[in-house]
Amino acid sequence: MGSKMNSYDVRTRRFMMIIIVVGLCCFFYVLGAWQKSGVGRGDSIALQITRETECGVMPNLNFETHHSNDVNIYTYKAKNFEPCDATLTDYTPCHDQNRAMTFPREHMAYRERHCPPNKEKLRCLIPAPKGYVTPFPWPKSRDYVPYVNVPYKSLIVEKAIQNWVQLEGNLLKFPGGGTMFPQGADAYIDELASVIPIVDGTIRTALDTGCGVASWGAYLFKQNVLTMSFAPRDSHEAQVQFALERGVPAVIGVLGTIKLPYPSRAFDMVHCSRCLIQWTSNDGMYMMEVDRVLRPGGYWILSGPPINWKTYYKTWKRSEDELQKEQRRIEELADLLCWEKQYEKGDVAIWKKSINDYSCKRKNDSSVGMCKHEGVDDLWYNSIFS
C-alpha cells in the first residue's frame, strides 16, 4: 500500500514540474513578443533607430566639431624664435655670469641657479658653436669629442698634468684622469672597489660632487653604475658641458644654500675628489645633506684636502694645524652621523653609513639629537639650513 502511494506522489511531482516549465516558456514567449512590438518602455526608440538606420549608422548624425565660432583651432601657428646672436653661444639663462656676480659669495650662493625675471628673458634660441657636428656615439664619445663642439682650451692648460682633457688635432681627448687620480679613473676605481662592493651589483647609483669633466662617472659605466655628476659654472665655461658632449649625465650645480635636487636615499655612493666643498662649515650641514641622499649602508668617498694633509700641506699652501683640525672635525661629524670609517690610505678616505639606528655606534652625547623626518624631500629651492 505504501509503495503505491509513493509512486503516486512521484508522478504528481513530475506532472507539476512539467506544468511549471511549460508555463514559464509561455510567459517568456509572450514577453518577447511584447517587447518586439515596441510597446515596451524604451524599446520603441530602439526599434525606431533600428528601422531608420542602415548598417547601424543614422544618416542624420553630424561628425563635425562643434566649437564656437570665436575659437579657430585650425589657424593657430606655433611661434618661431630666431637664433640669438652668435656671441651668446655659451649663454646659460639661470647661470649667467653677469647676473651671478650680483649675488652673495657666502656659501657659494652666486654659483647657484638664479633665473632671469620675465622682462630679462631672451626670446631667441641659443646657437650652437660654429661648425658644430654630431657627437660620436658611445663608447667612443667617452674618450673623444670634436673640438668644434666645445671649443675651449683653458682646462687643457690648467689641468695639463692631471690628464683631464687633451687636444689632439681637431679632437678633444679625455684620458680619464683627475686631480686626485692622475693614473686614471680605472686605477682609482679599482682602489675604491677593494673596499666598496662595486663589481657585484651592490652599488647601482652614485653622485659625484664637484665632478669636473665627470670622468669618474664615465668610467663607472663599465661597472653598471649610473652616476649623476654636478659642478659649478666657472668664470670661463661650464665644465659639465664637456661631460654632456661625452654623453655623461651631469648638471650645473653646487652645494651652497639650497638642498640638492635629489630625493632622500637616492644614491649608493657619494664621491668628492678635491671638490673644494667646505665640509666642516655651518656645523657640517653639507655632510648632513650627503647623509640625506645616501642610502643606509651607502658609502662616502673623500679624496683630497684634508686627506693626506701631511704630504700636501705645502702644495696646498695651508698650515698643518689648519688641515689637521679640519680632518679631525670631519671625523667628529662623521661619527655624529653614524658613519663608520672603512678605509684611509694615501689620498683616499671612505666612510660607510649605518644600516639603521640600532647599528649606530655613535658616542653618547646628550647634546646631539636625531633630526625629524618631516619635509626631508621638500627639495626645490628650499634652504639647506632649514
- Say how many domains are in the chain: 1
Q: Show the DSSP H helices in 228-369 as ranges.
A: 240-246, 285-293, 309-312, 320-336
Residue 349 lies inside a defined structural domain of this protein: no
- 3 state DSSP class of 17: helix
Per residue in 127-185, pLDDT tens? 999 999 999 999 999 999 999 999 988 888 888 788 899 999 999 999 998 888 988 99
100 part of a folded domain: yes
pLDDT in tens, 34-80: 655 555 554 555 455 455 544 445 556 565 665 555 555 556 677 88
Using DSSP's 3-state secondary structure scheme, residue 299 falls into strand
Percent of the chain that is helix, strand, coil (3-state, to 5) = 35, 15, 45
Query: Of 52-66, 93-107, 241-255, 328-342, which gets the smallest average pLDDT?
Result: 52-66
User: Which pLDDT score, from 0 to 100, does residue 73 have?
Assistant: 56
Task: Decide if pLDDT at 377 tops 60.
Answer: yes
Q: Which phi and psi angles does 74 have, rounded to 5°?
A: -85, -20
- For cell 606655433, the residue is 78
pLDDT on residue 196: 98
Model confidence over 273-287: pLDDT tens digits?
A: 999 899 998 889 999
Q: Are 211 and 217 in contact (CB under 8 A)?
A: yes
In a domain, 300, yes or no: no
From first CA to last CA, the distance across the chain in angstroms is 100
**Higher-confidence position of 41 and 20:** 20
Residue 371 domain-assigned (yes or no): no
Q: How far apart are CA 224 and CA 219, in angstroms?
A: 10
In a domain, 94, yes or no: yes
Cell of 45: 526608440
Cα gap 314→320, rounded to integer Å: 9
* pLDDT of 15: 72
Which residues constitute the domain of residue 109?
78-127
Q: Mean pLDDT in the chain?
A: 84
Residue 385 lies in a domain: no
Query: Whole-structure pTM over 0.85, yes or no?
Result: no
Evaluate whether residue 118 is within a structural domain: yes
In a domain, 17, yes or no: no
pLDDT of residue 366: 42
User: In this structure, how many other beta carbons lie within 10 angstroms of the beta carbon of residue 97?
Assistant: 14
What tens digit of pLDDT does each residue of 196-232 get? 999 999 999 999 999 999 999 999 999 999 999 999 9
